[in-house]
Amino acid sequence: VPAVKYFSGTAVYRKTFELADPSTIQNSQSKIYLDLGKVTVSARVKVNGRDLGVVWCHPWRVDVTGVIKSGKNDLEIEVVNNWPSRLIGDGKLPEAQRRTRTNIQKYYRSPENGEHPLPSCGLLGPVTVMEEK
């Protein structure tokens, strides 16, 4: 679907999960992290309704110690990507149908095959819960 393929903006990922090993959060000497794997370009993380801030570089992880709990946990990740995906998509449309207006023309054509490759975008993962002692 072109609207999804060339999307630029904020996507929200939601997941409810159960902590596999509740004993890991009972050790006061450990920190628990939510590792996002790889993200393009930035992510705001919320666990159990608590905003844990934005990550925008490696390592793509947030400290969830004291927030994550035994049993059910609600996760929300807002990922924002860059503008090129939309510009590449608009480059395939007649000017009157484009969703963006800019004087930047670099994404409309590529000398090799007439179009730019789409960048990887979103929550690329894998998302894991990890313990650090």
pLDDT of residue 119: 85
Q: Output 109 or 4, whichever has higher pLDDT.
A: 4
Could you tell me the pLDDT band of residue 128, with boundaries at 50, 70 and 90? very high
pTM for this predicted structure: 0.84
pLDDT of residue 124: 95
Q: Distance between CA atoms of 13 and 57, rounded to whole angstroms?
A: 19
Averaged pLDDT of the chain: 87
Nearest to 124 by CA among 72, 71, 67, 81: 81
Could you tell me the pLDDT band of residue 112, with boundaries at 50, 70 and 90? low
* Token digits of residue 36: 């996002």
115 has a pLDDT exceeding 90: no
111 has a pLDDT exceeding 60: no
- Per-residue pLDDT of 48-92, as tens digits, reads 999 999 999 999 999 999 999 889 999 999 999 988 888 888 888
pLDDT of residue 58: 94
Residue with the two structure tokens 């490696």: 58
pLDDT of residue 2: 72
Q: How far is CA 112 from CA 12, 46, 50, 71, 102, in A?
A: 34, 42, 47, 53, 23
pLDDT of residue 36: 98
